[in-house]
Chains A and B, each alone.
Chain A
Amino acid sequence: MSDLFESLDLMRSLTNSFLSTSDSEKFYQTTLTTGVTIFKARGGVVRIMDQTKGSLEVHSSIGDYPRHPLDQRIAKRVFFTQTPFCLNRRGKEKPFQSILCVPFLVKGKSFGTLTFYDKEIEPFKFEEKDLWLLLVIAQQLSFAIENLIARREIHTLVQEQERRVKQLSTLWELSKALLTTVHFERILHLTLTAITIGEGLGFNRAMLFMVNEKDRMLEGVTGVGPDSAEEAGRIWSSLSQKKENPSEWIARISSASENHSLLNSLVKGIKIPLEYNPCILSRTVLEGRSFKVQVPQSEEGWIQARCKRGCSLGSEIGCFISEHLSHDPQVYSFATAPLWGKGRVIGVILVDNLYNQNPITDEDLQYLSMFCNQAGLAIENAMLYRHLEEVHQKLKETQTFLIHQEKMAALGELSTSIAHEIRNPLVSIGGFARRLDRSISSEAPEKRYTQTILKEVKRLEKTLSQFLSYTHQEPLVFKELDLREIMEESLSMVSQGEDGEIQLIKEFSSSLPLVKGHPEQLKQAFFNLINNARESMGGRGALSIRIYPVSKNGFSHVRVEVEDTGGGIEPEHLHHIFNPFYSTKENRFGLGLPIVHKIVTVHQGQIEVDNRPGKGVTFIITLPAEEGKKDEKDSRGR
């Protein structure tokens, strides 16, 4: 009887321990320890059905147990028949080899077995009462185990949910960040950095390729990731030191610096035809789905790139030629995900774990795909916005041009009637003055008066001609010109005597490409600039003239700079100096600068103003050189 009491007492403490633990390992261990004490057995084993493998596996054990096929078979039989089993065989050394085995049943289904071996006290074999006792214990345990399993399932579920929630909140924070900007480069940077940093998606490297619909090509745009294992280690150790929440690290990576990594320049050079089927990247676009690839190391020690076209993108390997895998990974995993815009794939994200060689799981890929959906829309938005801005800019330029054209047309009409109304009287005044002049002897004091009238009429007529040549376009004959010669001629038009203390500084390049142009017009333009400069300096200052070759957009140009020290232009007038209708109160500019502007435009050049209020102003004219224009024609023809 004392045996029974002892057993019951042990069972009570066992049940207590079940209630206090959620650790299945400890639970089974306690069960075995208690069981061995109750049954005075040499050892015990808990077997649990592994659902994934479909086989009964030893989960915990205590003491010695026979690793014998027969033992396994008995356990299986007990498991499937749900019937307890007791076996006592006569042995050679010991009186008996004995096995006592019962099933763990939960809701009428067995999920494991509990077995004890070899009773170590008289009668050295298990008896029926042992079997019944074990059955009672097993029944009690089943409830506890059921709880335990449920609790464990809940625990895993909770963990899973927590991870999901964390992922989703990170995704949410990221898409929020992606929505706050339409800046194309910033969005790309944010996307790739979010994929690579540990708090984000945690891949080692990320690369972005965009679809070029026109050429049917996939073009590398940018890549983010360390260039070497050492760099990777450095980054990771510095990152693990600070713990940040998503909004903190997103804010940090949003304002990050330029990307000068080797990877970035490598990616930028990659171009793959979309129709090139064997390439995973092309397939990602064409099939619109993500891929996950794991490549083992080859016998030669390299990861083999099977792409034979030399596009440095192996068909199976992603985008790495072997020398970039210099530190010999055992396994190389990479994955791709399409970037979806509205109804079409606009690009591909390629990720890999080159440095830590972590495998990429289905979940990783799912997470990546979810993020890429967000990023794709943001990138497409940014692209549309950029396109819109370009169109808007063009529209603005066209509008400015049209307004200018309209003004010119109005001015043309105006000038026609002005010409008539002014020139006719001028002809009479000048004509009769000339007649008068001829009749006056050169000694008479009146001679000076008629001479003055003639001089002034001539000046007025000249102004009128200038004005008309500005408003009425005449077909021009262009010649190949050396701007240095034109400038010298313009300078010679300035009467030197009047230049009291103006210092002339000439810096002409010794070799200069020719410019195709109208010599008289250009002479006029330079003259007007020189005249303006001289007038602004009021007889004292320095006039610097520079002529030198420049390259603009790959084409050869000649630049002419006229700089004065005449105090510059008041900022409020600056916008109007090329406007023919606008003149300052002092009428300082008049038609001089609009004429220069017109002439430069006719020559397909550009004029810029570097105004330094209080100091001086530099007019900078850039004209296309003859060779430059030729290039332009060539490229258009292509």
Chain B
Amino acid sequence: MKKILVVDDEESIRLLYKEELEEEGFQVEVAKDGKEALAQIPRFKPDLITLDIKMPGMDGIEVLKQIRLFERQIPIVMCSAYGEYKQDLTTWASDAYVVKCADLTELKNTIRRLLGLL
């Protein structure tokens, strides 16, 4: 079973993603900020990480940089409420960029593609 780490500062989003992705057959853990996420990765060893960009304290882009310092293989999907960061070169270090939507179909398809499940 593939493991996914969901990083988002909003509790309801974490809950939604966890339930939806678990329903898709993934093992899901959540982190409420970058610090928590960085602490969880070595222990949980996720196969994929979804990363919210706008978070208090360390933002998603900073977290992305930090993760890439020690972990180059795990696919990372950037999630954001707006498309602005699409032009930010640092987000290119991620594997995908998804604009948040109530319809999670796009996110799920992206995850499946990155994990080679399609």
Residues of B in contact, count (CB < 8 Å): 18
Most chain A C-beta atoms within 10 Å of own C-beta, residue among B10, B20, B102: B102
How many inter-chain contacts with C-beta < 8 Å in the A-B complex?
Answer: 59
Beyond A428-B16, A432-B16, is A423–B82 a contact (Cβ under 8 Å)? yes
| Nearest CB of A to B82, in Å | 4
How many angstroms from the CA of A431 to the CA of B13 in the assembled complex? Answer: 9
Indicate if A575 sits at the interface (CB-CB under 8 A). Answer: no
Chain A 414-429 near chain B by CB (<8 Å), digits 1 or 0: 0110011011111111
- Chain B minimum-CB-distance residue to A454: B102
Chain B 46-85 near chain A by CB (<8 Å), digits 1 or 0: 0000000010000000000000000000000000011110
Chain A residues with a Cβ under 8 A of chain B? 415-416, 419-420, 422-435, 454, 457-458, 461, 468, 472, 474
24 interchain pairs, CB-CB under 8 A: A416-B82, A416-B84, A419-B82, A420-B81, A420-B82, A424-B13, A424-B81, A426-B102, A427-B101, A428-B12, A429-B102, A430-B102, A430-B103, A434-B102, A434-B103, A435-B19, A454-B102, A458-B103, A461-B101, A468-B82, A468-B83, A472-B83, A472-B84, A474-B83
- Chain A minimum-CB-distance residue to B12: A428
- Chain A minimum-CB-distance residue to B105: A434
| Nearest CB of A to B60, in Å | 12
Cβ contacts under 8 Å, B115 to chain A: none
Minimum-distance CB pairs A-B, first 6:
A430-B102, A428-B12, A423-B81, A431-B16, A419-B82, A420-B81
| Nearest CB of A to B47, in Å | 22
How many angstroms from the CA of A403 to the CA of B83 in the assembled complex? Answer: 25
- Chain B minimum-CB-distance residue to A423: B81
Chain B 1-25 near chain A by CB (<8 Å), digits 1 or 0: 0000000001011001001100000
Contact of A433 among B82, B83, B101, B102 (CB under 8 A): B102
Cβ contacts under 8 Å, B13 to chain A: 424, 427-428, 431
| Nearest CB of B to A475, in Å | 8
Chain B residues with a Cβ under 8 A of chain A? 10, 12-13, 16, 19-20, 54, 81-84, 86-87, 100-104
| Nearest CB of A to B50, in Å | 12
| Nearest CB of B to A431, in Å | 4
How many angstroms from the CA of A432 to the CA of B16 in the assembled complex? Answer: 7
| Nearest CB of B to A152, in Å | 97
| Nearest CB of A to B104, in Å | 6
Cβ contacts under 8 Å, A415 to chain B: 82
| Nearest CB of A to B31, in Å | 16
Cβ contacts under 8 Å, B12 to chain A: 425, 428, 432
How many angstroms from the CA of A419 to the CA of B81 in the assembled complex? Answer: 6
Cβ contacts under 8 Å, A431 to chain B: 13, 16, 20, 102, 104
Beyond A428-B10, A435-B19, is A457–B82 a contact (Cβ under 8 Å)? no
Beyond A420-B54, A428-B10, A428-B16, is A472–B102 a contact (Cβ under 8 Å)? no
How many angstroms from the CA of A458 to the CA of B83 in the assembled complex? Answer: 17
- Chain B minimum-CB-distance residue to A430: B102
How many angstroms from the CA of A434 to the CA of B102 in the assembled complex? Answer: 8
Cβ contacts under 8 Å, B10 to chain A: 424, 428
| Nearest CB of A to B4, in Å | 16
Cβ contacts under 8 Å, A461 to chain B: 101-102
Cβ contacts under 8 Å, B82 to chain A: 415-416, 419-420, 423, 468, 472
- Chain A minimum-CB-distance residue to B19: A435
How many angstroms from the CA of A491 to the CA of B10 in the assembled complex? Answer: 41
Contact of B100 among A424, A429, A434 (CB under 8 A): A424
- Chain A minimum-CB-distance residue to B10: A424
Cβ contacts under 8 Å, B54 to chain A: 420
- Chain B minimum-CB-distance residue to A438: B23
Cβ contacts under 8 Å, B102 to chain A: 426-427, 429-431, 433-434, 454, 457-458, 461
* A-B contact sample (15 more), CB < 8 A, given A420-B54, A424-B81, A435-B19: A416-B84, A419-B82, A420-B82, A424-B13, A427-B13, A430-B102, A430-B103, A431-B20, A431-B104, A432-B12, A434-B104, A468-B82, A474-B83, A474-B86, A474-B87
